[in-house]
Amino acid sequence: MIIWYLCVMKLVFATANLHKVKEASQILGPGFELSIPADYGHPEDIPETGNTLEANSLQKAKYVYDAIGMDCFADDSGLEVDALDGAPGVYTARYAYGDIRFKDNLDKLLYVLDGQTDRRARFHTVVTLIIDGKPIQFQGYCEGSIGLKRIGTGGFGYDPIFIPAEIPVFQADGSWSLVPNTDGLAMAQLPDGAKNYISHRGRSLRIMAEYLATLVK
């Protein structure tokens, strides 16, 4: 059931990653109040044993919905590199050693792509929303390429080596417009607002927010 109180929609985000919670809160805006499973006494890791982003996202959302009984959503994201036939894909977070060690993941990817001229890649997110026990999925993409070295200090994960194809420019009227990333800026060099505007997770969450808005009209 959607809990709609004082114009705020309450949702459980099936994650323990506080970076992702902050990002999602910024993207969804003040109309949403996010909590995490640990807030309800479920601090353990959420299982994700699927072979696709869609399967993992659904598994995580169902696990949290069954455990807590509240409307919730989960995401699973992957970095898909064309020259690697879409790898690391579903194994993005554990690309190097089977653990979430992003420094090692970045080192491995830069090593594997050494000398490779085709460095096209994209971030891909699948968000699964469960409302009243019914799941629905939303997809988001961010096209770009893999840089030759780490750049920037912001963001997290693969942001220092991912070069988005387009970057947003803030306009005088308060809106964003997209322009080609001719300077080769990495995702880690973008301010949070700009990154959220073009990010794969940002795009999928905005689509989810638009869908949720139709439920309360």
Q: Name the residues annotated as catalytic.
A: 76
| Contact yes or no for 128/58 (Cβ under 8 A) | yes
CA 4, distance to chain mean position in Å, is 25
φ, ψ dihedrals at 81, nearest 5°: -105, 125
- Please identify which residue in the block is written with the tokens 């995401």: 75
| Contact yes or no for 104/91 (Cβ under 8 A) | no
| Contact yes or no for 77/124 (Cβ under 8 A) | yes
127 C-beta neighbours (distance < 10 Å), count: 26
Sorted by sequence, the CB contacts under 8 Å of residue 62 that are 6+ apart come out as: 130, 135
Helix (H) or strand (E) holding 178: strand 176-180
CA distance 30 to 8: 7
Give the relative orientation of helices 200-215 and 18-28 as an angle to the nearest 10 degrees.
50
CA distance 173 to 78: 34
